[in-house]
């Protein structure tokens, strides 16, 4: 159930992806003369993005598992929820300031330069590579997904969560790559307004989960993991 929320998050936020990465999807090159080759290239592009998100899930899952084993999962879940809520409430000018930070600008420019070089090749393998690099472009909604993945406290769950997130964005991104102006401007504007609401709900769920209230699915009781050294020490004291 927890990992399936990644699919819902990706699907509901996919129109945000169209606004951010739609120009790349629309401009994807194709040297294939057949329709099959054309569609295959678009599928490979989306698989590249899913692969990147899955790798991110692996990395963030390693961090989440360490946090879980250290017994800090509840605290991290609450902190992540608060961070998401604060980021939603921040004025646009402050958000744009973070985007314009030199390290972020450097990474973005490097990725865009590499993607541009791959566009010139136009091969099927380059389309896959474009998708892989596209997944690394700075994106606030991807960061929300990563926050959800790290809160799971499991490597396997985090990988599945991020993979499903990528698959959730795939239908809209695939459609955008083959159909121009798939969604009207008014519809996209409404979705952009709804995204902060959905992110706020997700943040509240993180906070409730961290509060350990014993509510099934919403805030289940988490098992407290006691370090091995502490257990051995307690047993030694009992024996004395």
Q: Would you kindly state where each structural domain of the chain is located, as residue ranges?
A: 4-239
Task: Give the model's pLDDT for residue 228.
Answer: 46
Highest mean pLDDT among 24-28, 166-170, 206-210: 166-170
108 alpha carbon, distance to own chain's centre:
17
At 217, give phi and psi (nearest 5°).
70, -45
Q: What is the pLDDT of residues 29-81, one digit of tens each?
A: 877 778 888 889 999 999 999 999 999 999 999 999 998 888 788 888 888 88
Angle at 124 between CA 118 and CA 127, to 5 degrees: 45
List the one residue out of 50, 73, 68, 65 whose CA is nearest residue 174.
50
- Decide if pLDDT at 91 tops 50: yes
- Decide if pLDDT at 226 tops 50: no
Percent residues over pLDDT 90 in the chain:
25
pTM (two decimals): 0.76
What DSSP line would sit under 57-95, residue for residue? Answer: HHHHHHHHHHHHHTT-HHHHHHHHHHHHHHHHHS-HHHH
Task: Give the model's pLDDT for residue 220.
Answer: 64
- Decide if pLDDT at 230 tops 80: no
Task: Give the model's pLDDT for residue 135.
Answer: 92
Residues 211-217 have a mean pLDDT of 73
């Amino acid at each position: 159930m927890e990992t399936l929320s990644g699919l819902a998050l990706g699907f509901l936020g996919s129109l945000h992806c169209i606004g951010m990465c739609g120009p790349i999807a629309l401009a994807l090159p194709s040297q294939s003369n057949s329709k099959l080759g054309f569609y295959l290239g678009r599928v490979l592009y989306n698989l590249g993005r899913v692969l990147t998100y899955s790798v991110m899930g692996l990395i963030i899952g390693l961090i989440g598992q360490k946090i879980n084993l250290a017994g800090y999962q509840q605290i991290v879940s609450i902190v992540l929820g608060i961070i998401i809520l604060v980021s939603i409430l921040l004025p646009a000018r402050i958000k744009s300031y973070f985007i314009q930070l030199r390290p972020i600008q450097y990474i973005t420019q490097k990725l865009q330069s590499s993607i541009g070089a791959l566009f010139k090749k136009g091969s099927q393998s380059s389309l896959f590579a474009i998708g892989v690099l596209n997944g690394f472009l700075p994106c606030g909604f991807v960061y929300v997904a990563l926050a959800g993945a790290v809160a799971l406290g499991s490597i396997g769950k985090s990988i599945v969560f991020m993979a499903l997130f990528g698959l959730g964005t795939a239908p809209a991104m695939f459609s955008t790559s083959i159909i121009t102006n798939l969604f009207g401007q008014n519809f996209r504007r409404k979705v952009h307004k709804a995204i902060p609401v959905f992110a706020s709900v997700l943040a509240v769920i993180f906070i409730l989960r961290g509060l350990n209230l014993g509510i099934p699915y919403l805030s289940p009781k988490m098992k407290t993991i006691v370090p091995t050294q502490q257990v051995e020490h307690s047993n030694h004291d009992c024996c004395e």
